[in-house]
Structure 1
Amino acid sequence: MWSSPHFPGRIFSIVVQVTGIILISGFLATYVIAPWMDRVIKFRMPRKVPSSMKEHIIICGYNQLVETLIDELAEQDITFIIVEDEEETIKELVYRDIPCIFGAPSDRLTLTNAGIEKARILIANKSDERNANIVLTAREFQHLNIIAIVEDRSNSKYLKYAGADTVVSPKAIFGQFIGRKAMDRLVSRVTGSTEIFKGVHVTEFPIYLKSPLIGKTLKEVSSQKLTDARIVGIWKSGALSFDLKEDDLIRDNSVLLAVGTPEELSKLKKLTH
């Protein structure tokens, strides 16, 4: 067979056939299957909460801070819905079975579809400019407690003017620690925390020179269950970053932004010294 004059031709035919199959498969995956799946997902894109949903929290905008927040809400059996206008984010949330709807958070119809008439709290977690529009729309519903997350502290008053009941500035919390560093070791309870809703606080923790956390990555802190508090931000080079990576290293000059119950935050506080 090997010496047959037809053998090279057969090999060539097999290669062509296999290559053709691969090319056709690639073509189908790229130009037929993927677009079809996108259409199916878009068709199933959630746009309205069940009519039975009530006393829930509406979270406008998704990021690492919200990722931690929803873990806390789930643990406390608090109903919530995330409102997002980024299709890829919604697809990810749907895949992970996290309650969400697709739509512009500042649009009245979207908020109505999120059950705002029966909600108790709305959290605006987009850019400061977009948050102002979200708050203005949501303020039509007088019963609602509106919390706005502000990036630039100087914009806090504008969000208040727009109708926010509470404006949370993670960066503003940082300043409270500077004057307390000398005496902070003498304080055993959590101080300087902001309650973002009942039982859940956000707090910043400076890392001191003898802290056992120094040299550990965020992944190590999480996997070793050193604390049940969620680290949602870290100060890097003078700027607060929510874009955390598992291999981000905790250093002696780091400042961690964490969310949790007072008990969870107290445990984390002990580890920072």
Structure 2
Amino acid sequence: MAILKKLLFFTALLLTVLLSGATGYSLIEGWSFADSVYMTVITVATVGFKEVAPLSQTGKLYTIFIILVGVGLVGFSLSNFTAFLVSGQIQEIFRVGKMQKRLSKLKKHYIVCGSGRMGSEAVKELIAEDRDIVIIESDEAVYQKHQSDGVPSIQGNATDDEVLIQAGVERAKGLLTALPTDMGNVYVSLSARGLNPDLFIIARGTDEASESKLLKAGADRVILPYQIGGRRMASILVRPEIVDFLDVMTGKDELSLRMELVNVSDSSPLADHTLKESNIRRETGGALIIGLIRDGSDMIPNPDSDAQIRSGDQLVVVGHVDQIKKLEQMAK
């Protein structure tokens, strides 16, 4: 917003020159305000038009003062306006304004605080999932890249409440904080939880000690990348074929599988029927139910065919995108 402040300053400078000049002519020569403004404009613009009326001795001295001071100030302001236009800063103001308008309309979106190595991977995944996101980034170069890519983003400190509010934290569905320090992630978790008690917060931590602090600060889940990375490396070392298979199944190509949660509505034909009776696998072309979540917390892993589906249940399903979409239609 520094650009906008400069623009407002130069605009105020121009108006000050015109108004003070017009006021002086009105008081000295007794002219109308319109004539006084006209005289001020032709004087500072150095266009050489004829005066409104013959000037008094005082009026001539005042005109010399306006020329010496006003012409310089007007030239300074106009040169800066030209610099703004040439450098594209005016377009930047409009672009930021458009982005702010877009952010104000977002609801149930996801906020990513920090788009470093870990945060950028999360951003890629959320974009691939076609989710509405807002990135809070303090680095100018990274922020400009997000802007050029058309990704909603805000430059600022994610630990600042005002920045979180600007990102729509009060309307957001989830927040991921991947700042480089545990202290920063603790502050973000604490602030975000205070602004939105229902927000689902995931935080990056460095070790188990930081995990407990982040959970106390308000995070729902804590990701320890070094711990996860070490375990994955050990799994690849011991069971490389299994890990390779899972990577293929959860990739991004047409053969990959997705794991999703599907909500069962009150009017769904699946309600009050068993998994066997619902024929989900046949009706969807292969979607597989690997779990049931009941009342938002009770998990039933690998339910048998006689397990009954109730309205309000969440089905944990694995399948291709088209298969999951068919199941979502059945669950409505």
* Aligned 8 A contact 1:105 1:134 in 2: yes
Q: Which residue of 2 aligns with 1:136?
A: 190
Query: How many Å apart are 1:152 and its aligned residue?
Result: 4.1
By how many angstroms is 1:186 displaced? 6.2
- CA shift, 1:96, in A, is 1.6
RMSD: 3.5
Matching residue within 73, 84, 87 for 2:137: 84
Return the alpha-carbon distance in structure 2 between the equivalents of residues 181 and 84 of structure 1: 34
Q: Which amino acid aligns with 1:74?
A: I
Pairwise CA distance, 1:262: 10
Query: Does the aligned pair in 1 maintain the 2:113–2:136 contact within 8 Å?
Result: yes
What per-residue deviation string (whole Å, max 9, x for no partner) do you get for residues 69-107 of structure 1?
Answer: 323222221111101122222112111211111222111
Residue in 1 that maps onto 2:119: 66
Contact 1:47 1:102 in 2 (8 A): no
Aligned-pair identity in percent equals 27
Letter in 1 for 2:193: R
Q: Does 1:116 align with 2:186?
A: no
Superposed CA deviations along residues 191-216 of structure 1, whole A, max 9, x for unmatched, are 9xxxxxx959xxxxxxxxxxxxxxxx
Higher relative contact order (CA 8 A, sep 6+): 1
Q: Using the TM superposition, give the Cα deviation of residue 178 of structure 1 relative to its aligned residue in structure 2, in angstroms.
A: 6.2
Normalization by structure 2: what TM-score? 0.43
The reply on whether 1:184 has 2:239 as its aligned counterpart is: yes
Q: Which moved more, 1:158-167 or 1:173-182?
A: 173-182
Q: TM-score by structure 1 length? A: 0.51
Match of 1:166 among 210, 213, 221: 221
- Counting only pairs closer than 5 Å after superposition, residues 173-212 of structure 1 correspond to structure 2 as 173-177=228-232, 180=235, 183-185=238-240, 187=242, 190=246, 199=259
- Report the structure, 1 or 2, having the larger helix content: 2
| Structure label with greater radius of gyration | 2
Matched-pair contact (CA < 8 Å) for 2:190–2:218: yes
Deviations along 1:192-244, one digit per CA (max 9) or x if unpaired, are xxxxxx959xxxxxxxxxxxxxxxxxxxxxxxxxxxxxxxxxxxxxxxxxxxx
Distance in 2 of aligned mates of 1:104 and 1:146: 17
Match of 1:98 among 145, 151, 169: 151
SS of the counterpart of 2:103?
A: coil
SS at match of 2:242: coil
Superposition misfits of 4+ residues, deviation over 4 angstroms: 32-40, 42-49, 177-183
Query: Relative to 1, partners in 2 of residues 1:116 and 1:38: Cα closer, same or farther, differing over 3 Å?
Result: same
- Specify the code of the residue in structure 1 equivalent to 2:188: I
- Whether the 8 Å contact between 1:124 and 1:147 is mirrored in structure 2 is yes
Structure 1 segments unaligned to the other structure (5+ residues): 1-31, 192-197, 201-260, 264-273
In structure 2, how many angstroms separate the alpha carbons of the residues matched to 1:199 and 1:104? 34
Q: Decide whether the 8 Å contact of 2:113 with 2:158 is kept in 1.
A: yes
Alpha carbons of structure 1 residues 262 and 180: separation in structure 2 relative to 1, 3 Å: farther
In the comparison of the two structures, how many residue pairs are matched? 168
Consecutive unaligned residues of structure 2, counting only runs of 5 or more, are: 1-82, 248-257, 261-317, 321-332
C-alpha distance 156-96 of structure 1, shift in aligned 2 (>3 A): same
1:105–1:47 CA distance, 2 compared to 1 (3 A) = farther
